[in-house]
Structures are given as C-alpha cells and as structure tokens.
Structure 1
C-alpha cells in the first residue's frame, strides 16, 4: 500500500460527500453538506474535514454550520488531524469513533450469486432492518434513512445497489457499490443482511459480486470502511481486506 493510494481513497470519500449533497458550503479545513429532504440523516447533513483544521475552533464551526439541526456529525478524514480533535470535541460533548479504511488485497473472486437491484427491491427489508436497529425512532426518521439511498446516485460516476435473493425472490442481503472509473477506485458501503437470513452466505454473495463488478469496471483500488471496534472488520479481513488507514467521526445529539 502506498501513501498515494490512501490519499486517493480519502479524496474519493471527500468528493462523494460533496457530490451527493443537495447543497454545501466551504469551511476552514473542509466543508458542510446538507440535504433538507433527508434532514434526519446525519450522513447527509454533516461537517467534513479533509485538510488541516484548528481543532479548538472546530466545535464552534460545527455549531455555526449545523445549528439548525438537532444533531452534530463531524467526519475528519485525516487520521492525525482527527486525533488532535478528540479532546476539544469531547469537552464540547461529542462522542468519538474510529472508522478503518480497508483495502481489498486478496484475489478477486471469480463471480458471485448476487445481482444489481434497484432501491424498490431493497426498500422493505431495509426498512425492517432500520426499525430493528432504531426501535425507538418514528416512521419519518426510518423513511429518511431508507430513501436517502437514492441521493447516493449523485455521489459517484456509477452507483449500484447489489442484492442477493432468496429462492423466493426476496432480497436477503445488500450493499452499495460506488465507482470512479477515472481513478480506478471503488467503494463497497453499507453491507447489511436481513435478520431472518443471517448466517446463510447471502452477505458473502453480495461482497463477492461487488468485488467482481468493481474489478470488471477496471477498479484496481477496491475498499470499504468499518468500525474499528465492531466484529465486521474481522469478517472483512478473512475475505481479503487489510487495514491501510483510518478516519474519525464525532457525534452529538
């Protein structure tokens, strides 16, 4: 892994956030993105820091940029800059998490038993999964978290939803695939399996298919992000992914 490859991935993440947004505004060290259609989605309404930032000033910048919202989300894409933000943001009431950047370094699998699907095909199982993840939120919040996936088509040159179906035709597992053919970069994002179908290989089918699609589109850089403290990172490692970097997320409200 080269420093240039991690830089390419960070640039991809930054560009995706900008392109997906309904509107945005520049800030010292980065930018804020907004989408009023999905006001309950933190990922669509957040501050992204992608260069050097004054860590002490960041809480105030976020309050100014996101003051009309009940939540705060700040993503700091540079590891060193993010580590410097931990203490000042903790004092301002933020919780901190670390996301790993994981590069696919194993062989590309020969194929997969999943397929490209549209949002309608995953809408019902995705809604049930969000209701399980967030049982105490209202229907509008869940609807925003489901429907925001349509906005992701703006984020990259090519966006696919990849799904693995049961014998009855229901989509049991799904993920997003974002592709920038100009740089040969592909991200696999939000791999989820319906609770009723866990442990039956559907997630493997989705991941395998997404990797093959990315490779067939000429993407030599295939990556995903994973919570540093959660079990999926180890699942991905067993499937040919290696940690090459990390970034930081801060949330409040």
Structure 2
C-alpha cells in the first residue's frame, strides 16, 4: 500500500472540538466502525461527495506511524473505481498523530509537509491558523487575503498571505485593492526576500520573521509560572500595547486585546503567567494544533525584566507542550531583535524565514494599525 501521509477532511469546528478531547471520533466510527482517511490523490473524492463546493475545510495530515489502531485498505463507495482502496482507521484518531493542518481550497493543491519537516510544519501552522480564524478569506494572486472587519487596525487579521511567487507590483496592486486601513502582506515563498527588498526601496516597511523550532520536551524551571484564564493576562497586554503605541490610543489598544479570543476558536490555547506580589508581570501563550505546538506572546513588564520571568514562562509552556503529546514546538521571532538569540539559547533552531511587508501610510489614512 502507498507510503506517506494519510489525510482526513474536516470542518474546522470539529477539529477544534477534537483538540479539547485529545481524539477525533467522527460519526462514522460509531456508524461503520472506522474513520475515513485518504491518500493525497484520493482526497478530492470525499470532498466532492460530502462537501460539494466547500472551500472552508481543513485537511488533517496524519502520520500513520503515530496511530494506535489498525489502518485497513478497503473499498470505498460503488461509484469509485473497482480497484481503488481507501485507508480506514479502525479506532479513534489521536490528535497528536496529526502533524499538520492545512487549508483545503480547491483547485489549489494543498501543501502537505511530512512529519520530519519542521519548516513545512511551521509554515503550515502559520497559514492554517490565520485562515481558520479569519472572518473572510479570498483568493488573490499568489495566495489568499484574510480579513476581519471587527479588528480593522490589526494587520495580523487583515493581510495577504502569499505562498506562491509574485512580484512587487502584484503585492502592491493586490494590497491596494483590499481597502484596508493598512496594506500588509506576509511573503512566504522562496525568493521572497528579493521581493521584500524591492518593496523596501519603494518605501514599504519590511521585517524578516524567523521561524524557529525545537523538540517538545519537559523543561525544569517553570514551576513558578501558572496557567490562568486568558482575561487575567489582559492588563499586561494593555500595558504592553500602550508602551508600544504611546498614550491616547486606548481604542486601538482595546481592539488589539479583544482580538486575542479568536485563536482559541481554532487551536487549543493555554495562557501562562508569572506574578510579582499578585500582579501579572510576565506571560506567554501555548497554541496546540495536533502534534505541533506554537509559542506566542511572550512578554515581560519593563520594570520586571531581568528576573528570569520569561524563562520560567517558556519552560512551563515547553513542558505543557510535551505533556500534550506534541513532538515539535515552533515560534516566530523578528529577525532584527534580541529575542531571536534568547530563543536560540533555549534550544530553538532557525528553520527559515518569511517576510512581513507594510505599505507606507497614505496622507489622511489611519496610521494606528499594528501587528
């Protein structure tokens, strides 16, 4: 039978529910005793039968070596070719066997990273989370545009995600046509640095985003970091955004804090903090998406820096990722800032880069947009 990954097509809400349970148990498991899987060459068949015309679905990339129950190759429906056999999992699907979750938006072929491809898995997570949480997703040259009118000044929620090569003119023209407060794009394709540098010459702001990864292992030193409900972190986030944006931006700060709930709607989010005298002074976030976890939003109050709080937060996050059964932890770090080197000392290695580009503010335009 074919080697390589197996796939399962799913609605994002069903995948999020499975992340909370740790296993996926679709109705077919009770009805016929197995879960329908497919090879990459077969995925279009269940899509056409079960979800005709749908382009908001996700493909779970399953590593067969991580399954506990047998996979049997059996006939599909009578309409399928007589010689075709489909992989059927005779038991629940552990979420940790899913090494990547990728958008399914035919006719564009999905990019399916292997379990031993940390860069591919990091890129898949970067794209998939943004697409799954977006209020609106549109096809554009080179990729997709994600938008959310609830957060108009969030460049993280209103941007182009370009995974296939395009030139600088295409980036400019496409971004200009979106009607956003700020024109923003993430360039994710080989050779994107050349396009980013050309945009920089045209006045765009350019930031290299270094993708980093390490194995998920239990790490000592996180005992004083605690898991909390996300609203406990809001005051720290508010202080951090005010420090960055300056005074008089309370409406922008409120929008940037309010947007954070959208992540837990698509991946399993855990917020970790350290307190000094009861006040939250450091925090970080773990996002689990099957066997891949991500570190995000690690920050420390200015007055509390130098006390090892961020290290305690990171140690607790890595331990939680290992406890959740993840094998890979990834993150994004600014290419020109010191945290990149701090993460390297914590065992993260550089996997590759993407490029965030932001158009210069137009006269009279709102300039409060933030990542």
TM-score between the two structures when normalised by the length of structure 1: 0.90
- The CA deviation at 1:144 is 1.0
**SS class of match (2:117):** helix
The answer for the alignment partner of 1:40 in structure 2 is 153
Cα distance in 2 for residues equivalent to 1:111 and 1:200? 13
The answer for the alignment partner of 2:283 in structure 1 is 174
**SS class of match (1:42):** coil
Question: Which one has the largest radius of gyration?
Answer: 2
RMSD: 2.1
- The CA deviation at 1:107 is 5.5
Any stretches of 5+ residues in structure 1 without a counterpart? none
The answer for the alignment partner of 1:195 in structure 2 is 302
- The CA deviation at 1:251 is 0.8
Instruction: Report the count of equivalent residues.
Output: 246
- 8 Å CA contact 2:216–2:326 kept in 1: the answer is no
**More helix by proportion, 1 or 2?**
1
Pair 1:164-2:274 in alignment: yes
- The CA deviation at 1:91 is 4.9
Counterparts of residues 15-164 of structure 1 (less than 5 Å): 15-65=128-178, 67=179, 69-78=180-189, 80-105=190-215, 108-110=218-220, 112=222, 113-136=224-247, 138-156=249-267, 158-164=268-274
**SS class of match (2:207):** strand
TM-score between the two structures when normalised by the length of structure 2: 0.62
**SS class of match (1:204):** helix
Cα distance in 2 for residues equivalent to 1:4 and 1:225? 16
- The CA deviation at 1:119 is 2.4
Deviations 1:122-171 (A, max 9, x none): 11121111111110552111111111111111242x112221222x2221
Cα distance in 1 for residues equivalent to 2:183 and 2:168? 16
Any stretches of 5+ residues in structure 2 without a counterpart? 1-114, 362-371
- The CA deviation at 1:55 is 4.0
Cα distance in 1 for residues equivalent to 2:249 and 2:236? 17
- 8 Å CA contact 1:161–1:174 kept in 2: the answer is yes
